[in-house]
Structure 1
């Protein structure tokens, strides 16, 4: 396994670290929950990470079975050309995403562990279809035909990186509770007033990484 693969997947994981749902829900829980903040936030973050990790394993195993016969029919040049074509579409499309305000991060109706698990599954299911960096990372791992013991820890590390901002915010809140209220409010306001520019940036970088991996840059 080359360092190039690790760098490409790591760059995609960095993009997923700025997930509006993960950061937005974490900030909301830290501001609203008066008790059991540690338990609630960790339950939510672990649920999201496990969902994406399980989805990644399923896709890696499924894509390997589906794409192996196709890969035998395609030359390496054709495969890279396809990757370059998809990357080019995403790169160009990133400049054409219309600007519009979002509704902010989803919020739980009750502050219980069971509600956090349900919220984690709900947000993951709703957003998995738009998880461009994650799908790109899985595509890169699949195209290099890595062994199970090689791609499994990479997926685990990817998902750990994805929830790292939420864990960092939780740690800062537990250590500096008195001083974190205003910064958390500003972060919440930023996400509630955010626009679709986040999607355009994700498309831009995913497209760029695919272009690099396709050998056209």
Structure 2
């Protein structure tokens, strides 16, 4: 495992954990009765869905990577990745930031905790299109060709960081009690107004990561090709 992988995964997990929609639902739950068990059920739903999707992607994309071999490092594949990164970066910069306000969720039809688990899973699936940091983390682990015994703990750690902010809000609510209500209400309003802009920031940052990765892999392949002793390189006599 290359040394830069862990810092990169940590940075992506921290970025992903600031998901406005997930935090908005957490703050909404903390303003309602029986906040602690309902929020814990909601976080459990997020964790089950996000971790399950991550495992499925690692297994599915890992098999695809093995089938494709070195094709992912082909100049055409790298150019496609670079174009995708540039497009995400351009979208994050130039897309309108004044979209509609994010809406607070409706309470589950049944007040059982299972309904809040389903709510967490639903929010996760609906917001999957904005989970670009997660996709980037999956891509990094796939690029390292890690075995399940190595990528599974990393995936668990990523997901633990991802669900940490709602749990931190719950701890703050338990510590401050009703004194936190007004502060949480202000945070909810800011998240409703800023959800669109935060999502665009994520698009832009992931675009930079994809573009930079494509460029660095292209330069690395050129260096290996031109190294002495490499077939077709400058060291061939």
TM over 0.5: yes
Q: CA deviation at 1:195?
A: 4.8
Q: CA deviation at 1:105?
A: 3.6
- Contact in 1 for aligned 2:20/2:195 (Cα 8 Å): no
Q: Does 2:69 correspond to 1:71?
A: yes
Residue 102 of structure 1 corresponds to which residue in structure 2? 101
- Contact in 2 for aligned 1:90/1:206 (Cα 8 Å): yes
Residue 50 of structure 1 corresponds to which residue in structure 2? 48
What is the root-mean-square deviation of aligned Cα atoms in Å?
A: 2.0
- Contact in 1 for aligned 2:84/2:207 (Cα 8 Å): yes
Residue 150 of structure 1 corresponds to which residue in structure 2? 150
Partners of 1:75 and 1:54 in 2: CA distance? 28
Number of matched residues?
Answer: 215
Greater gyration radius: 2
- Contact in 2 for aligned 1:106/1:123 (Cα 8 Å): no
Partners of 2:23 and 2:101 in 1: CA distance? 15
Q: Which has the higher contact order (CA 8 A, sep 6+)?
A: 1
Match of 1:93 among 66, 91, 94: 91
Structure 2 matches for 1:3-82, cutoff 5 A? 3-33=3-33, 35=34, 37-75=35-73, 80-82=78-80
Residue 201 of structure 1 corresponds to which residue in structure 2? 201
Distance 1:74 1:157, change over 3 A: closer
Any gaps of 5 or more consecutive residues in structure 2? Answer: 220-237
Distance 1:214 1:72, change over 3 A: closer
Q: CA deviation at 1:145?
A: 0.8
* Length-normalised TM-score, structure 1: 0.90
